[in-house]
């Protein structure tokens, strides 16, 4: 009985620790102009410090500055070289992984 309770307590503690680590994921935002673009893979943004490469994450959200969510067919028309963007990303080792891309409104 003590072994079962101890096992359950350890499993619960491990799941709490894992969830706490997930919650600590820091999203950083940076801005610039797209200078290279490979759809679904990566793009390079010219920032004040120079060119920065961003890789696509599992899920990328595209929005306008007013918060309108872009549909997939809109993304292929809107994202291009020369476009000013604000990129939300996380770090996975030395790689910047995109989670959100914000573009100017089209109105």
CATH code, domain carrying 59: 2.40.50.320
pLDDT value of position 95: 95
Better pLDDT: 24 or 74: 74
How far apart CA 107 and CA 105 sit, in angstroms, is 6
In a domain, 16, yes or no: no
In a domain, 55, yes or no: yes
In a domain, 49, yes or no: yes
In a domain, 17, yes or no: no
Range of the domain at 37: 26-103
In a domain, 50, yes or no: yes
Q: 36-95, pLDDT tens digit by residue?
A: 999 889 999 999 999 999 999 889 999 999 999 999 999 989 999 999 999 999 999 999
Number of domain units in the chain: 1
pLDDT value of position 93: 92
In a domain, 90, yes or no: yes
Total-model pTM: 0.74
Cβ–Cβ < 8 Å for 27, 88: yes
Closest CA to 102 of 77, 79, 82: 79
How many helices (H) does the chain have, and how many strands (E)? 2, 5
Better pLDDT: 15 or 98: 98
In a domain, 8, yes or no: no
Alpha carbon distances (Å) from 101 to 1, 2, 50, 104: 52, 51, 19, 10
Confidence of residue 28 (pLDDT cuts 50, 70, 90): very high
């Amino acid at each position: 009985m003590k072994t079962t309770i101890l096992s359950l307590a350890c499993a619960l503690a491990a799941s709490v620790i894992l969830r706490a680590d997930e919650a600590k994921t820091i999203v950083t935002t940076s801005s610039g102009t797209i200078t290279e673009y490979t759809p679904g893979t990566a793009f390079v943004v010219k920032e004040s410090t120079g060119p920065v490469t961003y890789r696509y994450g599992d899920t990328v959200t595209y929005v306008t500055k007013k918060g309108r969510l872009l549909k997939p067919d809109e993304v292929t028309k809107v994202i291009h070289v020369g476009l000013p963007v604000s990129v939300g990303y996380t770090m996975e080792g030395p790689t910047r992984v995109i989670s959100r891309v914000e573009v100017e409104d089209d109105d």
